[in-house]
Every structure is written in structure tokens, then in C-alpha cells.
Amino acid sequence: MIHHTGWGYFPIAFIARLPFAMMVVGVLTLVTSASGSVALGGLASAAVGIGVVIAGPVIGDAVDHHGQRTVLVPVGLINGVLLALFPLVVLSGMPDAMVLIVAGLIGVTAPQAAAMSRSRVIAIIRDRLHPDTRGRTFTRAMSYESAADETAFVIGPFLVGIFASFIAPWAPIAIAAALSFVFVTAFALHPTGVLATSSESETAPRAPFSAVLSPRVLVLVGGTFAVGLFFGSTLTSLTAFMESRGAGADAGLLYGLMGIGSAALALAVAVLPARFALRWRWLVFATVMAVSASAYAATDAVSGLVVTLLVMGLGVGPALVTIFSLAGERSPAGRSATTMTLLASSLTLAQALSSALAGSIAETVSIPLALALPALAALLVLVFGVLNVAVERHDARVHYSVTYASIVAPAGSGS
């Protein structure tokens, strides 16, 4: 892989993920700090997520048709401009409606480097690597990509907490704007953006968009949506909990603890035995999420939150790896970018919506109820895991029936 990508690709692709990972949390932190309302902050972050889910599939489809460079360069630059303007909009006292509109536009122009990186890696493995090495390389590459995603989704809020605590609440968004200008553009212009499109893939027929909406793909979209609910409800409930103790800016630092075990276990998925099938991994790690999130809801001390966040990370990282690995295997022909952006968009939308819901519940009902939301989200991850098993068994039955019919039919017609 490195022979085809170069040593600089993976660091650039990782840093290019950070603006996307910092957007929802940065908007939440800035608006909450400026307005004093967790509910308004949650609505602003939800606007980001809605923008992402509206534009994400469109951007993915455009990339599948026109290539990553053509689409990502202008999208990344526009996104950087909007991020740079957002602190001015919030701190100048503009109406809440204007804040929500600009937040939505930030989501619409989100470049989604993570989905594009996966699409590049899948194409390079498929088109450039020897068939004997594709299977093992694909498993390890997807583990790395998911670990990078998980690390970015945790490091992003962690950086937001650091910059907000030690500089100012507007600093995370301003830094995300700078990263978008520099690293998203560098990622878009990297040679792999061209290398990922081989002559074979250019001439291969592209599946219709309806193929992306098949049950075997939509169950994965549901899984990432549930993981997004888990991320958003955890962060916002944690923010509300710490805000009630006068340390709201430290929430991002505590949230970063979840990434320690999460990133490590996400990388460790690559060495799990092949007989531990992806469908069973989903169920096992979702169960870890549900049990630890239940403990998170029951605690009322910061020390208890620290322990439960560490354990929660042991489940969510591998679960995310598993779902995206399945997506890499199930992407319809010529639709890898569309599929990956659809999953990434559903994750971000859910993160934003759950942030809004958790913020509203924490402010108008109670913080303990908000702390229970991650357990419900983890349970939903488990439900989609069960549905995935059902979808796989249905597909297996259909495949067996078609194969059996193709064998028997010629004999029957001959008689």
C-alpha cells in the first residue's frame, strides 16, 4: 500500500479528518459558551449534521462520477471559509436563526476526507495489488482506516477541549478552518486521488444508485447512525454533567479517554482470527458498549465516568471497524465513495441530532436522563447487529436458491 500511496499519504489523510471531527463539537462548545444554552448549542450542532446528511451522498455521487480532486478542492476551500466566519457570526450577536443557517452550511460543505480515503484505499487494493495479498491487506487497511476514524472522532473533541480551555471557545473552530484550508486541500491534490482510478475501474460498469439503497447496505447505514447517536449523546451528556460542576470545558478532555481503548482495540481487530466473523464481532462489541454505557448512566461521580468511558471505548472502536469493513465488502460496483459518504453522513447526522436531544433533555428535564441516552444508542447498535445477521442469512438463502436453480434448470429443460 505504501508503495502506491507514498509515506506522506496516511499522515495527510489523518489530519484532513480532523476538521470534520471537530465541527460538531466545536460548534456545540462555541455556541453553548457564547449563549449559555446547551440546548441552542445542540441545535447548532444538529444543523451541522443535517447539512452533512443532505450533501454527503451528493458529494459522494459527484466524486464517483468526476473524481475526488474536482470535487474536494472547492468543497474544502468553501468549508474553510465558513468555519473561519462562524466565530464572527456567533460572537457578533447575530440572531439564532443566522447561527443555525451558517452551521448548516458548514455541514453542507463538509469534505468528508475519511470516506474519500477509504474509497481510495479500496480502489488501490482492488486495482493495484496482487490477488494473493488483497484479502489480508484489505482487512488490515480497513482496520487502520476505522482506527484512524475513531481516533479522529475522539481526538477532535479532545482538541476542542484543549483549545477552548487554554485559548478561547472560538479557537477550535478557527483552527479547524486552518486545517481545512491546508490539509483537506493537500489530501485532495495528493496523487492517490488519481491513482485510485485505474483504467479498469474507469471502464467498469457503475451500479445504479438504487444498489446503494439495498438492505445489505442500509443495515450498515443504520449501524453507523446508531454509533453516531452513541457519540453525540455521550459527549453532550458529559458536557452537561461537567457544566453542572462548573467545568464544562473539561468535557472534551474526559471524552478523549474513550479514545484510548477505542483506537487500540480498533487496530487490534486486524489480528482477530478470520473465524470470528464480522457479524459476530458486531454483536459482541455492541454488547460491550451497552453494558458499559449502562454503568455510565448509573454513575454520579467524575471518577466513575472516567472508568466507564475507558470501557465504552473498548466496544465502540471495534464496532465501527466492523461496520466499515462490511461496507467495504458490500459497496456496489463503482459506488464506493457514495457508500462510504452515506455511512459517514449518517454517523455525523446522528451525532448532531443526539447532541441536540441530549442537550435539550439535560437542560429541560434532568442530567441523569441525558446520561442514560448512550445506553439506548448502544442498544440500537446491537439491534442493527441482529438485523445484519438476518440480512446475511437471507442473502445466503437467495444465493443458494439461485445457484441450485441454475444447476437444476438445464437438466429439467433437456428432459
Tens-digit pLDDT profile for residues 82-135: 999 999 999 888 888 999 999 999 988 888 788 788 778 888 887 777 777 777
pLDDT at res. 222: 93
Over residues 155-182, mean pLDDT:
82
Confirm whether 320 is domain-assigned: yes
Tell me, yes or no, whether 223 lies in a domain: yes
Q: State the average pLDDT over residues 37-56.
A: 81
H helix count then E strand count, the chain: 18, 0
Give the residue, 38 or 241, on which the prediction is more confident.
241
Distance between CA atoms of residues 107 and 102, nearest Å: 9
pLDDT at 415 over 50: no
Only one residue has cell 447575530, namely 94
Best CA proximity match to 220, nearest among 330, 294, 119, 307: 330
Q: Note the pLDDT of residue 283.
A: 94
Residues whose CB is less than 8 angstroms from the CB of residue 116 and which lie 6 or more positions away in sequence, other chains included: 63, 68, 72, 187, 337, 340, 341
Average pLDDT over residues 35-39: 76
- Choose among 104, 24, 12: nearest CA to 358: 24
- What pLDDT does 199 receive? 40
User: Residue 6 has what pLDDT?
Assistant: 83
What is the number of structural domains in the chain? 1
The Cα–Cα gap between 200 and 34 comes to 53
Place 201 in a pLDDT band, splitting at 50, 70 and 90.
Answer: very low
Q: Residue 412: inside a domain, yes or no?
A: no
Question: Residue 252 falls within a domain, yes or no?
Answer: yes
Domain span at residue 287 reads 9-202+211-401
Give the rounded percent of residues in the chain with a pLDDT score beyond 70. 86
pLDDT number for residue 78: 92
Residue 184 counted as domain residue? yes
pLDDT at 367 exceeding the cut of 80: yes
Which of 33-42, 330-339, 399-408 is the least confident region?
Answer: 399-408
Q: What percent of the chain has pLDDT over 90?
A: 18
Structure confidence at residue 150 as a pLDDT band (50, 70, 90): low
Candidate from 210-224, 237-251, 302-316, 345-359 with smallest mean pLDDT: 237-251
* Position 249 confidence tier, pLDDT thresholds 50, 70, 90: low
Task: Let me know if residue 302 belongs to a domain.
Answer: yes
Given this model, what pLDDT does residue 59 score?
Answer: 80
pLDDT digits over 47-65, tens only? 887 888 788 778 877 777 7
Taking only the tens place, the pLDDT of each residue in 303-330 is: 888 889 888 988 888 888 888 888 877 7
Q: Domain for residue 406, yes or no? A: no
Mean pLDDT to the nearest integer, 262-272: 70
Q: Work out the mean pLDDT of the chain and round it to a whole number.
A: 80
Instruction: Pick the range with the lowest mean pLDDT from 125-139, 231-245, 346-360.
Output: 125-139
Given a cut of 70, whether residue 200 has pLDDT beyond it is no
CATH assignment at residue 303: 1.20.1250.20
Cα 253 to chain centroid, rounded: 20
In a domain, 59, yes or no: yes
Position 297 pLDDT exceeds 50: yes
Residue 343 has pLDDT above 60, yes or no: yes
Dihedral over Cα of 85, 86, 88, 93: its sign:
positive
Residue holding cell 457508500? 339
pLDDT at position 287 over 90: yes
pTM passes above 0.95 = no
Give dist(CA 89, CA 99) in Å, integer: 6
User: What was the pLDDT predicted at 198?
Assistant: 44
Give me the pLDDT at residue 387, please.
93
pLDDT beyond 50 at 203: no
